[in-house]
Amino acid sequence: MTRKQLIIVPGYFKSGSTLMYRHVWPKLGFSLLPKRSVKNNRNILFYILKVLNKIGVYKNFTPNIKSGRRVDFELCHTTNSTDEITDALKSIFEITKSEKVVAEIGFLRPGVSDDNLKSLREPIRKLRAEGVDIKIFISIREQSEIILSRLKHDYRTFPPWKNEDNNFPVTDEYLKSIFSNEITCRCVYPFCLSDKVDGMGMDCIGDCGKVGKKIYHWSLFDFSYQVERFKTLTGVGDIYVQPLSLLLDDTPLAISKIANWIGIEVDLTLFETPLPVINKAPNIQSEMILNNNAKELISKKYRKSNQELCELYKLPICCLTAKPSIRS
């Protein structure tokens, strides 16, 4: 009997998870739990929503099929019940009708508390006792790139900032004003949106007293910290980190390292064609760039952590070194 394998992908934003979904995981023999961008399979989409509704989340939510928004398995935001989380994780294999599945479960968020992650520990232990092999795969990107992409996305997407001038150079002083060393809120989003979340009439769940103000946390982009946090809280010690730049710049090495981590043989001739750059942010904010001082601030914040991460996973340090030109 084939042992079931579940690889959980919690993020990060614009760090290659969609690229992996489309062009890597299927060639490695894994089926995919559809991402929230799924558009063409309504049966799967509504099955996911049915599971979410079963565990008491978004009961009154009508999905936007065109965008596929809000259909991630955001388990940590929905329930703390061990049985309900266990059932939802098991349903991933039912949905995909596969024994080997990669699932993007969107819980790598600034507002996800330690308690939220701890709620996964017992369900994962139970599934492992039933013979399910569970790993965590974290897609990352050099911090100045990912922070810039995050800012561009949030400023053009969420009120009230999408109605303001969102095309300006980002300075180190500005970063200091919107980043915090403390976990100041427990919002689903990277920052407080308003007194109502996402215009859907749902009350803000934060308790930070900073409604309507963007508050990001430096620790969110500290990859070494997040790896240890996930290991400690979820009990999953088998975690791998994939820098987007390594995947794009040295695809054979990146694929070999992933295959070695999973424990499979891989035909590298399947990856001879260069991987495409997909899902890029629109270039409507061409003036929103990080100035040199901002880049240096970010570099200093994460330099030691990045070195530790590269040593742990035997990654070239250039994978997490800021480049002169920042792609969004």
Residue with tokens 């180190």: 172
Q: 12-30 burial, b for 16+ CB within 10 Å, e for fewer? A: bbbbbbebbbebbbeebeb
Q: Is 201 left (phi over 0), alpha (psi -120 to 50) or beta?
A: left
User: Which CATH architecture group holds 5-141+222-271?
Assistant: 3-Layer(aba) Sandwich (3.40)
What's the predicted TM-score (pTM) here?
0.81
Question: Which of 59-63, 180-184, 223-227: highest mean pLDDT?
Answer: 223-227
254 and 242 Cβ atoms separated by less than 8 Å:
yes
10 and 136 Cβ atoms separated by less than 8 Å:
yes
pLDDT band for position 24 (cuts 50, 70, 90): very high
Q: What is the pLDDT of residues 231-285, one digit of tens each?
A: 999 999 999 999 999 999 999 999 999 999 999 999 999 998 888 877 666 667 7
Q: What is the pLDDT of residues 145-191, one digit of tens each?
A: 999 988 887 777 665 566 667 778 899 998 988 887 765 554 444 44
**pLDDT of res. 282:** 61
236 and 230 Cβ atoms separated by less than 8 Å:
yes
Burial class of 312 by CB neighbour count within 10 A (0 to 12, 13 to 18, 19+) = middle
